[in-house]
Amino acid sequence: MRIAMFSWESLHSTPVGGVATHVTELSAALQRRGHDVHVFTRPGYGSGGVNRIDGVWYHYCPHNLKSDFVDEIQDMCRSFVWHFFQTEDYIGKFDLVHGHDWLAALAMTWIKEGRPDHRAMFTMHSTEYGRCGNAFHSGPCERIRGHERLGTTRADRVIAVSHALKNEIRWIYNLPDPKVWVVYNGVPVRQFDGYLEPGSVKRRYGIGPTDPTVLFMGRLSWQKGPDIMVEAIPPLLKFYPQARFVIAGEGHMRGDLERRVHQLGVGHAVRWLGRLNPSEQADLFKACDVVCVPSRNEPFGIIVLEAWAAGKPVVASQIGGPGELIRHSENGLKVYPNADSVGWGLGTVFKNWDKARDMGRVGRIDAERRFSWDTIAEQTERCYCS
């Protein structure tokens, strides 16, 4: 098949979050399965025109920047559609168009309206309802929900990245069950291979080589729950004074979190690393002792797969994707999204490192067998052909 992907981000343009990894890895895996894949995305720093990477064609589509972000996304989608039609008129018809999240919903919809013989797929990686803290806000949030509704209505199939997200999408947008498929995210397991001395990475951040080290990796937002982990730190330090907590990521909560850490008197145990490049992230996953995912809303939780790929145990909220992925006490620990429960989970890991390492090993096996991108591409292909 000749497949057109539409995404606001990719690893080869302007990566922002997990969608960039998903689109890039899925496109490459589909190409390995013999498909002709074209990704239409924003230009990145130094990128432009058309480039072929890992067998996938990347079309960089410039657009106008605007003070109103939703208006800017509409301009981006117009650029996607123009470049798509130019490409199709030159190389021949595409069999399928595939938009990712509300940011690409208009592009997929306008193509479907302009050339109705295209089969259309729409992957939702989250909902605006969930990103707003499980609330229906007005203003820009309402406009974004309008994009989501349009995408879910006009697509031939909607793909959700977890069963929890599928249920949320069906509830919000009143979709029939057969229209919404579930295809999980994948993880590039081999990127976490290779020997690394954990102590050398810990020392890089002022952590002792034998200090129990907890890693939080992600946006510093209410949805991801970094404040929950922060509140769990003081009781843990009473019993494990050498424990250290690494917070890697940026977001609007950072200032409040830093102030709260200071108020609690635990600044000596916390390391703020900000945004890291992929190599630095992989090193931290391999060097830490446990990964904490205290999310309040988590449609999938790709961080869980990355922890498993590095062979690390996970303590994660039992909501959304992590609740589906984790088998309690086998490949991780499920907790409630509150400080007492998260503290219990981390303390349980600290008390039994042999058990923790066993959970990490089982997680690694799961990552290899169930969540390789080739497996995810095969499942996506079945949805395409349904």
Same domain, 153 and 210: no
Is 268 in the same domain as 125?
no
The pLDDT value given to residue 216: 98
Whether the predicted pLDDT of 93 surpasses 80: yes
How does pLDDT run across 107-146, given as a tens digit for each residue? Answer: 999 999 999 999 999 999 999 998 888 889 999 999 999 9
Tell me the mean pLDDT in the region 152-172: 97
> Are 244 and 256 found together in one domain?
yes
Count of beta carbons in the 10 Å neighbourhood of residue 201: 19
Do residues 253 and 162 share a domain? no
Query: What digits encode the pLDDT tens for the residues 254-272?
Result: 999 999 999 999 999 999 9
Query: SS3 sequence, 130-153?
Result: HHCCCCCCCCHHHHHHHHHHHHHH
Query: Which percentage of the chain shows pLDDT scores above 70?
Result: 99
Q: What is the dihedral of CA 266, 268, 270, 276, to 10 degrees?
A: 160
pLDDT band at 46 (very low <50, low <70, confident <90, very high): low
Give the separation between CA 181 and CA 296, rounded to whole angstroms: 24
165 in the same domain as 303: no
Confidence of residue 163 (pLDDT cuts 50, 70, 90): very high
Residue 199 and residue 178 share a domain: no
Lowest mean pLDDT among 9-23, 89-103, 159-173: 9-23
Supply the pLDDT for residue 277: 87
- Asked if 174 and 227 sit in the same domain, the reply is no
Per-residue confidence band for 164, with pLDDT thresholds at 50, 70 and 90: very high
- pLDDT at 47 exceeding the cut of 80: no
Of 356, 323, 385, 348, which Cα lies nearest the Cα of 95?
Answer: 385
Percentage of the chain beyond pLDDT 90 is: 90
pLDDT at position 205, please?
A: 96
Q: Give 15's pLDDT tier (boundaries 50, 70, 90).
A: confident
Q: Does residue 158 share a domain with residue 53?
A: yes
Tell me the per-residue pLDDT of 341-385, one tens digit each, with 9 for 90 and over.
999 999 999 999 999 999 999 999 999 999 999 999 999 999 999
In this prediction, residue 150 has a pLDDT band, given cuts at 50, 70 and 90, of very high
- Residues 226, 364, single domain; the answer is yes
Strands (E), 222-308: 244-248, 270-272, 290-293
Per-residue confidence band for 194, with pLDDT thresholds at 50, 70 and 90: confident
Do 282 and 210 fall into the same domain? yes
Is residue 127 within 8 A of residue 165, CB to CB? The reply is yes
DSSP secondary structure letter of residue 332: B
What local confidence, expressed as pLDDT, does residue 48 receive? 76
Task: Give me the chain's average pLDDT, please.
Answer: 95
Asked if pLDDT for residue 14 goes beyond 70, the answer is yes
How many domains is the chain built from?
Answer: 2
CATH number of the domain to which 329 belongs: 3.40.50.2000
Quick one: 31 and 135 in the same domain?
A: yes
Which of 383, 312, 338, 147 lies closest to 230 in space, CA to CA? Answer: 338
Spell out the residues 6+ positions from residue 378 whose beta carbon is closer than 8 angstroms to its own: 33
Same domain? For 207 and 324 the reply is yes
Residue 177 structural domain: 2-186+372-384
8 A C-beta contact, residue 308 and residue 367: yes
